[in-house]
Amino acid sequence: MKKILLALSASLCLLISNAQNMNSTIKQRTINVTGHAETEITPDEIYVQIELREYNKKNGEKVDIQTIINQFLIEAKSMNIADTDVVVQGYSGWDGNNWWYAKSKKKNPDLKAGVTYEVKVKSVDEMDKLVDKLDDQATQNFYISRTSNSNIDNIEKELKLQALLNAKQEAIYLSSAYGDHIGDALTISDYNESSDYPRPMYKAAGLMANDAAPAMNVDFKKIKISMNINVTFELVK
C-alpha cells in the first residue's frame, strides 16, 4: 500500500512539474510604445554674469575693488534684488589664496583685482535697469549665462502625465489593428528629451568703456521642454 501511495505522489509531482514547464513556455504578449509631450515657456529667471575690475581714473587714481563692490551691491539693493539672488562666481587677479594675492600686490602694485557676480533678474526690463546702474569703467563683461522658469518642475510633471496618456492612446490605436486590447502597464520609464536654454550674449569687454550701456533690445527665445514616456503594456484578447 505504501508503495502505491509513493507511486501516486510521484506521478502527481510529475504532472505539476510538466504543467509548470508548459506555462513557462507561454510567452507574455506585450506592446511597447513611447508617449510624447512638449511645450514652450517664457523664462522668468534670467541669470546674468557681471565681471567688475579695478580701474584708474584719468588723474591716475585707482578705484579699488572694495569700493566697486560696495557700489554694485548698493545699486542691486536699490532695485529690490534679494541678497540670495546675488552670488560671487569668482575672483580674478589672484588664484584664490590670500597670501599669494598680497605677495603679488607688493611685487606688482598695478595688478587689477576683479570679481565676477551672478545676478538673477526676472525680466528684460529689470536687466536693463541693472545695466543702467553699472559703473561702465569697472564693468569688464556682462552676459546672460542661462535662463529658466520658476515653475519648471511643475511643468515637467504635467508634461510627464500628458506623455503617459499619449503612450496609452498610441498603444490602444496600434493594438486595435490586431483586434487586441491593452491590459496592465508592465513597465514605465521617462526621460527628458531636450530643453532649450538660450544663452544670448549681451556685452563684451570694452563696449562699456566710453558710453553708457545702450538699452537692451533682445526678445528671449522661449524654453522648449520635451518629455518622453516609454511604456510596456500587456496585450489581451
pLDDT at residue 124, rounded to an integer: 84
| Whether residue 99 is found in the same domain as residue 155 | no
Total tally of structural domains belonging to the chain: 2
**How confident is the model at residue 96, as a pLDDT?**
42
Q: Is residue 15 situated within a structural domain? A: no
For every one of its 237 residues, what pLDDT tens digit does the chain have, with 9 covering 90 and above? Answer: 555 444 445 454 545 555 555 555 567 899 999 999 999 998 999 999 999 999 888 888 889 999 999 999 999 999 999 999 999 988 876 444 444 455 555 555 567 889 999 999 998 889 889 989 999 999 988 888 888 999 999 999 999 999 999 999 999 999 998 899 999 999 999 876 555 444 444 443 333 334 444 444 555 778 899 999 999 999 998
Q: Is residue 81 part of a domain?
A: yes
Separation of alpha carbons 33 and 52, rounded Å = 53
Tell me whether residue 59 is in a domain: yes
Domain coverage including residue 130: 45-148
Strands (E), the chain: 30-41, 45-53, 55-56, 62-63, 86-92, 114-121, 139-148, 181-195, 223-236
pLDDT of residue 84: 93
pTM above 0.75, yes or no: no
Let me know whether 158 and 93 are in one domain. no
Q: Are residues 219 and 185 in the same domain?
A: yes
Three-state DSSP class for residue 213: coil
Same domain, 103 and 126: yes
Could you tell me if 116 and 185 lie in one domain? no
Q: What was the pLDDT predicted at 221?
A: 76
CATH number of 144's domain: 3.30.70
Residues 60 and 129 in one domain: yes
User: By the 8 A CB rule, do 136 and 208 touch?
Assistant: yes
- Quick one: pLDDT at residue 192? 67
Domain match, 159 and 225 both: yes
CATH number at residue 174: 3.30.110.170
d(CA 110, CA 107): 9
Q: Residue 2 and residue 169: Cα distance in Å, rounded?
A: 61
Q: Are residues 57 and 72 both part of a single domain? A: yes
